[in-house]
Amino acid sequence: MSPVSPVRIAGAAAHFGRDLDWCLARIAKLVGDARDAGAALLVLPDATLGGYLADLRHPDPEALPPALDPDDPILGKVAALAGEMVVCVGYCEADGDARYNAAACLHGDGVLGRHRKVHLPAGETAAYRAGDAFTAFDTPVGRLGMLIDYDKTFPESARSLALAGAEILACLSAWPASITNQAPRMSQDRQSRLFDLYDCARAAENQVVVVSSNQTGAMGGMRFLGQAKVVGPAGNILARTWAKAGLAVAEVAVAAELARARRVLSHLDERRPDAYKLGHAAERGPGGYPPGNVAERRPSADPLGHAGERDPGAYTLGHVAERHPGTDPLGHLGERRPDAGEPGGDVERRPGADPLGHLDERRLGAGEPGGHVGGRHAGADPLGDAGERDPGAYP
């Protein structure tokens, strides 16, 4: 559980490139600024160490970010800079010949937690392999989970962490403005609106604190949005940087705010997981879309091409009573009705109930949908929303 007293939380909007020494100096400056602001938690952007891809559509294999081993000395240097603070940092992780878009949560004592990005947009699949799980872990500022970029597009990602007891979600991003549908003003940009929408929605639907960071500036042909923020458990933005570089800092009594948000309506405790059809798209049959490839559904049901990108095995979506201890402070566990259906079976939604096809984009395959939480441990779409689900990544 998080400390009873309020803590200051910071999300960073900043630019990072390929030069690791320069990146480390920028991190030192941001950590110092956060410490001066009294922050106990600092969330840095995705690809803090070595920068992001320069081209999402056709990444140059000779110009990828440097791949770092999980125990690379530079992570130790960031941990030393963190000291008593908790600092989340993004980097490209090497695992043999494989590369992962990864994040580490660091403290002066070492590594507190790790995450490998589960949902990869089309361009990233040429550079990285996908992770397969979402894991919550304890820190001095409370129980925390991490998401990287596109992960937060999928509700199951944040829900898995919330069910595992996460009170704070650190969302590390290198999220660009729209490449093919550029708006005259950033406030009118499609990706800018979605970035803010996802941050607020993931906080409100799970009644947790979200700390969202992002890159700024440009890399190759991409302009990054900035828009770092801290969001309360009611979906209310507590601090933000807008499009500028800097820190969004807010003081939050995490445990008290979560209890207040869940006092009357406790979303996690009032779910009915047996009524949710969370299986693979191919498992749906009569009453839903035709079985087989998601592309066989009626075209108008998925105009944005989101279907087929879920990974239903990475989401931990089981019964409330099986969640991490401490996720039910108000004692509502016994009031749910977990026997209204069969999770993981056919999605028998009525036609038209999901015009954007979001239900088909989860990644349910990294675990056992509906099972025990504790047992699972390009063109007009620059972020690659279409076709990237992996139904096996959500426990």
**What is the domain range of residue 166?**
7-261
Longest C-alpha distance within the chain, in Å?
60
Give 344-380 pLDDT, tens digit per residue: 333 334 344 444 444 444 555 443 333 333 333 333 3
The answer to whether residue 348 sits within a structural domain is: no
- Angle of helix 190-206 versus helix 155-163 axis, rounded to 10: 30
The answer to whether residue 120 sits within a structural domain is: yes
- The H or E element containing residue 190 is helix 190-206
* Confidence at residue 314, expressed as pLDDT on a 0 to 100 scale: 84
Beta strands 237-240 and 229-231: pairing type?
A: antiparallel
The DSSP letter of residue 185 is S
Half-sphere exposure (Cβ direction) of 204: Cα atoms closer than 13 Å? 11
**Alpha-carbon distances of 350 from 146, 239, 272, 285, 289, rounded to whole Å:** 34, 40, 18, 12, 9
pLDDT at 272 over 60: yes
Q: From the CA atom positions of the chain, what is the Rg in Å?
A: 20
Q: How many Cβ atoms are within 10 Å of 177's Cβ, its own excluded?
A: 21
Give 221-240 pLDDT, tens digit per residue: 899 999 999 999 999 999 99
In three-state secondary structure terms, 373 is helix
CATH (domain of 222) = 3.60.110.10
The answer to whether residue 301 sits within a structural domain is: no
Give 287-311 pLDDT, tens digit per residue: 443 333 433 333 444 444 555 567 7
Give 131-142 pLDDT, tens digit per residue: 999 999 999 999
- The H or E element containing residue 14 is strand 7-14
pLDDT at 159 over 80: yes
- On average, the pLDDT of the chain sits at 81
* Confidence at residue 134, expressed as pLDDT on a 0 to 100 scale: 98
The answer to whether residue 383 sits within a structural domain is: no
* Confidence at residue 49, expressed as pLDDT on a 0 to 100 scale: 98
* Confidence at residue 79, expressed as pLDDT on a 0 to 100 scale: 98
The answer to whether residue 306 sits within a structural domain is: no
| Number of structural domains in the chain | 1
Q: Which of 66-75, 157-166, 180-189, 324-333 has the lowest mean pLDDT?
A: 324-333
Q: How many Cβ atoms are within 10 Å of 185's Cβ, its own excluded?
A: 8
The answer to whether residue 234 sits within a structural domain is: yes
Give 250-262 pLDDT, tens digit per residue: 999 999 999 999 9
Q: Which of 91-100, 119-128, 184-193, 340-349 has the lowest mean pLDDT?
A: 340-349
User: Terminus-to-terminus CA distance in the chain, angstroms?
Assistant: 22
